[in-house]
Structure 1
Amino acid sequence: MTDASSPTVWRRWLALELTRLRREAGLDQKDVAKALRCTVAKVSYYETADRPVVVKDLDEVLLPLYNVPENRWSAYLRAAKDARKKGWWETHGGPPIPSWFSLFVGLEQGASQIRAYESEAVPGLLQTRAYTDAITRRGTAERAEDEIERQIDLRLTRQNAVTRASNPLRLWAVLNEAVLRRVVGNPAVMRAQLLHVAEMARCPKITVQVIPFSRGAHPGMAAGPFQILNFPWPSDPGVAYVEHRAGAFYLEAPHEIEAHTVAFEHLVALALSPDESVKMVRDIAEEYA
């Protein structure tokens, strides 16, 4: 186990561990439900991270039932307590963000790596305030000014994941050339945004690659933008995230993750190298001068 900055991810880690420990103990969910004097559904919720684990259940029943050595209990109990906390994005002020997106922010803030393909816009973690402002106002209908401002602030606060001093998020972004060419806001906003992307790409844990129009058809054209999130422990296979207008898909089946991983690898192979990509970003930025 390692440090994570998100209760969502602690809940995820604990769910994976409880599933592993139960199977190693040779127990079914119904056996655990009998020991807890609860329904099988409750055990399933614990093992899918749909609900945080009750610390008392863990301390008094699950850890002894699974024969976990007592010198390891403290790690599980601490994870259970951290998993029940509120993430900063859940106390950000104003109306709560949709549950489907709150889940994503929680996963993003605790991820160790995100690989993202973007076809239309600069990834949120690399956006400037002016770019975020322009894209949010154009894409947001019938919302009050204070709600728009909160949405902008939320996106900018999320960027702390890639700049924090301890275990910053590893971000690998592949961008379609259209991201650089589509004028969001005005040319001055675009120039500042592209120079910011080029500057951020100098960070050791941030990689930016661009697929030029000249490379023709590519796997990103089939289904659009997507992200693959990985977490700090090898036992977690990760999540493929695909957003749509009414919510998002969280794809966790092995074949789903593999399909997106293969697609991302093909996009990386088609893209310019990181150095060539940064040069292209800077060159196009100067075209906006």
Structure 2
Amino acid sequence: MDADRSSESKLNVRQRRVARYLRGWLASATPKTNQAALAKELGWSPAKLNLFLTAKKPTPVAEIIAIATMLHVDEQERDRVVAYARKGEQDEAWWASYSDDAIQGSAADFIETEAEASAVKNLQMNLVPGLLQTADYAGALVRSWLEEPNEAVVEERSKVRQRRQARLTDEKYPLKLHALVHESALEQNIGGLDTMLQQLDHLVTVADLPTVTLQLIPKEVGEYAGFGTSFHLITFDDGGDAAVHLENLTWGIYIEEDAQVAAYTLNFKRVLTHALDPEATVERIKEIRARRARDRKE
């Protein structure tokens, strides 16, 4: 089951990106051509080529090379995409060892996308971003979602989150995180007051990491463009296009069309103009922490 999920995740994420490269080659080909003509030159049926261009089927390395040759793609660009596709065939996904209860539904898809990313911009309305959550805070959230208490699942999901968070301090392949968080998220009562105080202390600590830019959207701002929306804007270090991830109660979706990704990128920039700078953010977190600690004494 886990192996099947890993294979499906690689198709969903890595092959989707490979397909976008292939479509980009076709769109920018010189001389101009189209899908039907390319299929004919390759000696393939149009249906076969379409499977690769739409990510309905993984594109073998030999087929990538054949397409690149027919479209006169630069060798360096061709080899870059081939290396990326080949890496997906060779790598064993670390999350494949976890159970379906620990990584449900589209979560594996998101985890692989995040693993491939070089940077994530996260706009978060009601919660502390997952990459910045403490174990107690995350555990409280997991317990609230489970229909029946299951500490084994809580522990396993905690390990998955810790593995993801390790990218923030990975010297070889660090993940850069720019998080915009609404101040109201820090006034929630997730896990109780002690858990929230610990979480606030943790935010002050991680805000000092060179890979993390944390900025609060203060409550006094009021409404702003896209108020109430949370999303992840994901970019890659190989020059690949960005993607947006949205989460719902039972699933997550990706937005990858250039115009729509651009809209989310613009929204992030617009909201950024309302945010406290990183230094003022840390001071505001400390103020919230002190106030909440006083509330406990009173």
TM-score, structure 1 as length reference: 0.84
Amino acid at match of 1:241: H
Write out aligned runs for 1:73-222 (5 A): 74-85=79-90, 88-95=93-100, 97-142=103-148, 144-221=150-227
Could you tell me which residue of structure 1 aligns to residue 272 of structure 2?
268
Contact 2:242 2:261 (C-alpha < 8 Å) held by counterparts? yes
Q: CA deviation at 1:12?
A: 4.7
Q: Secondary structure at the match of 1:228?
A: strand
Amino acid at match of 1:15: A
When the two chains are superposed, the root-mean-square deviation of aligned CA atoms in Å is: 2.7
Q: Which moved more, 1:29-38 or 1:78-87?
A: 29-38
Could you tell me which residue of structure 2 aligns to residue 3 of structure 1?
none
Deviations along 1:46-87, whole A, 9 cap, x unmatched? 33444432123234x323323346676544432221123455
Deviations along 1:247-287, whole A, 9 cap, x unmatched? 12312223322322222222211111111111111222233
Q: Which moved more, 1:193-202 or 1:134-143?
A: 134-143
1:54 aligns with 2:60: yes
Q: Out of 242, 254, 267, which is 1:250 matched to?
A: 254
Could you tell me which residue of structure 2 aligns to residue 28 of structure 1?
34
Could you tell me which residue of structure 1 aligns to residue 5 of structure 2?
none
Q: Out of 278, 281, 284, which is 1:277 matched to?
A: 281
| C-alpha distance in 1 between matches for 2:252 and 2:283 | 33
TM-score, structure 2 as length reference: 0.82
Amino acid at match of 2:155: E
Contact 2:169 2:211 (C-alpha < 8 Å) held by counterparts? no
| C-alpha distance in 2 between matches for 1:58 and 1:260 | 31
Could you tell me which residue of structure 2 aligns to residue 228 of structure 1?
233
Q: Secondary structure at the match of 2:198?
A: helix
Q: Which moved more, 1:41-50 or 1:107-116?
A: 41-50
Higher relative contact order (CA 8 A, sep 6+): 1
Q: Out of 259, 266, 273, which is 2:263 matched to?
A: 259
Q: Out of 245, 248, 254, which is 1:241 matched to?
A: 245
Deviations along 1:125-181, whole A, 9 cap, x unmatched? 111111111111112224644333322222221112222112412211111111111
| C-alpha distance in 2 between matches for 1:76 and 1:261 | 25
Amino acid at match of 1:206: V
Amino acid at match of 2:234: L
Alignment CA distance shift 1:158-1:43 (3 Å): farther
Gap runs ≥5 in structure 2: 1-8, 294-298
Alignment CA distance shift 1:44-1:99 (3 Å): farther
| C-alpha distance in 1 between matches for 2:38 and 2:79 | 21
| C-alpha distance in 2 between matches for 1:143 and 1:22 | 52
Alignment CA distance shift 1:34-1:246 (3 Å): farther
Alignment CA distance shift 1:125-1:29 (3 Å): same
Q: Secondary structure at the match of 1:84?
A: helix
Could you tell me which residue of structure 2 aligns to residue 63 of structure 1?
68
- How much identity, in percent, do the aligned residues show? 26
Q: Secondary structure at the match of 2:106?
A: helix
Amino acid at match of 2:285: V
Alignment CA distance shift 1:112-1:36 (3 Å): same
